Amino acid sequence: MKNISKIVVSYVLTLLVLISGFTFTSKAQAVVGPTLTLGSITTTAGSHIIVPVIASNFNNSVSAMDLLVSYDPTKLAINSVIENPNLADPLFNEHYSSNLIYISYLAAVDENFDLNNGVIATLDFTVLADSSTTTNLAFKTTAPGLKSSLYDIYGTKIPANYVGGVVNITENTVLTVSKSSSSPSAGNVQISETNSTLDVLMNKFKIKDQGLDAKIKKISLSLTGVGATPAEIASSVKIRVDGGVYAVNDTNLGVNGIYEFTLDNIVIPSGVTSEFVVYADIKHLGGNFNQGDSFKIDYAGVVAEDINGDNITNIIGSANGEFQTFYPEIYDTFKIKAKGVVNKKISNTAVKVISSDVKKEDATSVKGIVIVSDVKAIDTVISVDLTPSENVNKVVEVVENKEVNIINSKQEPVSQVSLEESL
C-alpha cells in the first residue's frame, strides 16, 4: 500500500511539468509544523543572485515535497535550481515556466528525509530590472491548479508554513575615490644614512561606497622614483585601512610602475567612507640612493565586489600623491621678514617655501633652487627651511636698499642686514 502511494505521488509530480503561465502570491498558514522560507536579498540592477529555499522544523518527518515558486519574469530571469547534495539521494526534479519554478523531491521508498533545518535548494537568478525596484518571490499555496505541498511516507499531506521572500533592487554600486585633505604635500623628508626610516607617509585617500556594501579586494598604486627606482628607495610600501588592517605590496618592488596590494576582509558599508593611508619604509642613503632623490605614490585603481559577489565596475575619482624628497639632515625654519620688494635666492637645494603668506606665483623652483621674488606686501613673512650649518648671510640676497630682518624658528634674531652689507 505504501508503494502504491509512492507511485501516485510520483505520477502527480510528473504532471506538474505541464504547468505554465501562472502568477501567484503566497500566504503563510498559521500552523505549527514544518516551515519553508524563500530568502530575501538586496542586489543591484543587472546582477546575479542566489536565493536559498530554507527548511525548518522538518523533524525528519517529510518524505516528499512539491514546491511551486512564482516570480516576476520582467524583473528576474531564472538560470537554474541547485539541489542540496546532502539530502539522502532523493529523486529530484525541476521545471520552469515563464513565471513559475517547479521543484520536487522524493525520498527513497518508506524513508523520510534526514532533515530538520537547512537549505534544501538554491534559486539562481539574473536581475533584469535596470532601476531601483522591489519584487516578490512566493510559494504557490492556493488553487487553481497544483500548489506547494509536503508529504509523509504514506503520501499524506503535512500541514506546513510557506514564507515568501523579497528581492530589493538598487541602482548599481558606485565607489568614489578622493584625496584626503591631510594627505602630505610635496616636501623634504629627513632620513638616516645608516638605518631605514619606517612608515614615511606618502599618500592618504578615501573611498566612499554608494549602493550595496562593498568588499575591497585589491588596491593598485603607481610608484614613481626620481633619481632612483622604487626598489632602490623603499624596501616596502604599506596600506593601512581606517587605522587598522595593513596590506603590503604583493610583489617585490622594482622599476617605476603599478603595484597591487591584496586586502582581506575590508568591507565598506553602504554610505560609508573609509580612509586608506599609504606608507613607505625608506632605505638608508648609504649605497642605495642619493640625497635629493624623490619618491611619489599615486592611487591607480581598486578591485571590489558587492555583498552578492558581483564585481563593482562603477568607480570614479582619483588621488595622486606628491613627491617626497629625501635628505639626511634636520632642517630649521627661518622667517625672513622684509619691507618692500625683495629678491631672495636660496642656494641650498634642501630648502622649500612653506609659508602660506607667499603667493604661488611669487615662488618658483629651478633645479632645486627656490627663488621667491617680487614680494610687494609690507612686513611680509616668508618661511624657508635651512640646514642648521648653513650660513644665513650666504643664502639671502637683497637687491634693493631695504631693511631685512631674519628670525629663526624660536623667534630669535639671527642677523639684520641691508644692501650696503656684503651678503
CATH number, position 218: 2.60.40
303, 327, 351 — which closes off a domain? 327
327, 349, 384 — which closes off a domain? 327
In a domain, 423, yes or no: no
In a domain, 422, yes or no: no
Q: β-pairing, 48-56 with 35-38?
A: antiparallel
In a domain, 355, yes or no: yes
Output the furthest CA–CA distance in the chain (Å, rounded).
124
Same domain, 298 and 203: yes
Domain containing residue 283: 174-327
Same domain, 17 and 78: yes
Residues 201 and 297: their CA atoms lie apart, in Å, by 10
Same domain, 378 and 294: no
Tens digit of each residue's pLDDT, the chain (423 residues)? 333 333 333 333 333 333 233 333 334 444 568 999 999 998 888 788 999 999 999 888 888 899 999 999 999 999 999 888 777 566 888 888 889 999 988 887 778 887 888 899 999 999 998 778 999 999 999 878 889 999 988 889 999 999 999 999 887 889 999 999 999 999 888 888 889 999 999 999 999 998 889 999 999 999 999 999 999 999 999 999 988 878 999 999 999 999 999 998 799 998 999 999 999 999 998 778 988 899 999 999 999 998 878 889 999 999 999 999 888 754 333 344 333 333 444 333 223 333 333 333 333 333 333 344 433 333 344 444 444 334 333 334 333 333 344 444 344 444 433 322 222
CATH number, position 127: 2.60.40.680
Same domain, 122 and 197: no
Residues 78 and 38: their CA atoms lie apart, in Å, by 14
Is the bond leading into 328 cis (omega within 30 degrees of zero)? no
pTM, 2 dp = 0.53
Instruction: Provide the number of structural domains found in the chain.
Output: 3
295, 311, 327 — which closes off a domain? 327
In a domain, 225, yes or no: yes
Residues 244 and 52: their CA atoms lie apart, in Å, by 34
In a domain, 18, yes or no: yes
- Cell 575615490: give the residue: 177
Same domain, 340 and 264: no
In a domain, 119, yes or no: yes
Q: How many CB atoms lie within 10 A of CB 304?
A: 22
Same domain, 202 and 351: no
Same domain, 134 and 33: yes
Same domain, 84 and 188: no
Same domain, 153 and 299: no
In a domain, 178, yes or no: yes
Residues 17 and 35: their CA atoms lie apart, in Å, by 24
DSSP state of 17: G
Same domain, 208 and 289: yes
Same domain, 371 and 268: no
Same domain, 156 and 189: no
In a domain, 350, yes or no: yes
Whether 127 contacts 44, CB under 8 Å: yes
